[in-house]
Amino acid sequence: MVDNSIISKDVFLFTDFDDTLSCQPDLTEEYIGELCQLLPREIAGGEGDWERAVRIALSNSLNRYKERFNENTSLSGYETWIKEERARALLDACQVMNISLKTSETPSELASRLQFEALTSCNAAFPEAHATLQELFEMGVRIQMASSQESEYLLAALIGAGIESFTESKFGPDIVDCAKEGPEFYRRITSVIGANPRDSIVLDDQLRCLHWAKEAGIENLIWLRNDTSNSAPEGVCAIRTLNELPDIIRKMTNH
């Protein structure tokens, strides 16, 4: 019998998105497909293949992120960086297509709008994501996003996946102006909403992120174990599917 009783205290779950709630390779392919439908309607002309242009732009953007935010650089400054990066990525694609962008919107505004329209038409959520988040929501767990994707991306992707209504804050490095590349990200997101690290839980598919969360004082760590080549380190609870999450959280909260 399923235990549907409500947790009696605030429990904050900080969950990753990519490869935790949604299959990132599948979402990327859907996203590129949607953009390639939208871009020719928004931007006239061009020579070449929009799909090739978008893939080059996204690859360049990822490389710029890795160069700007890493263990040897400051993790602050993300909020300004992402606003500028949206424009750079769009202009990269236009350059590949030999197009001079002419629009009443700024490149950043156009890129933001197209991202929202494309992502809200995509859904690569894991099959059990909706039922799991709904159960946690009904239990009283306060679900927060804790992703390397910015908040506007997360909002649109969660809407597309049909699970946005179960979540509260969409962290989103832009919200705390700190890239998700170290423990400072977790210190900031828990501080912003006044979450006690001892009553907080972090769910992620990457062990390095759980290590950063632990450094930030969060002890309840859950690893969605997509990588079967590694075993869970001490102090980390490993699950294979999201279906296991509600029972694990009940145990962690002594409910």
**For residue 126, is pLDDT > 70?**
yes
The pLDDT of residue 207 is 95
Q: Compare 198 and 222 and report the one with higher pLDDT.
A: 222
Q: Mean pLDDT in the chain?
A: 93
Neighbours of 211 (CB within 10 A): 16
pLDDT in tens, 10-64: 899 999 999 999 999 999 999 999 999 999 999 987 778 999 999 999 999 999 9
Q: Compare 225 and 172 and report the one with higher pLDDT.
A: 172
pTM of the model: 0.93
Would you state the structure tokens that stand for residue 10, as one six-digit string?
Answer: 């605030």
**For residue 234, is pLDDT > 90?**
no
| Beta bridge pairs of residue 158 | none
Distance CA 144, CA 202 (A): 10
pLDDT in tens, 66-99: 999 998 999 999 999 999 999 999 999 999 999 9
**Burial tier of 47 (Cβ tally within 10 Å: 0-12, 13-18, 19+):** exposed
Q: Compare 8 and 220 and report the one with higher pLDDT.
A: 220
Q: How far is CA 38 from CA 7, 55, 107, 188, 254, in A?
A: 44, 15, 15, 36, 49
The pLDDT of residue 1 is 41
Go through 1-19 and write b for each residue having 16 or more CB atoms within 10 A of its CB, e for each that does not. eeeeeebeeebbbbbbbbb
Of 6-20, 82-96, 115-129, 211-225, least confident by mean pLDDT is 6-20
The pLDDT of residue 6 is 57
Q: How confident is the model over 122-127, as a mean pLDDT?
A: 98
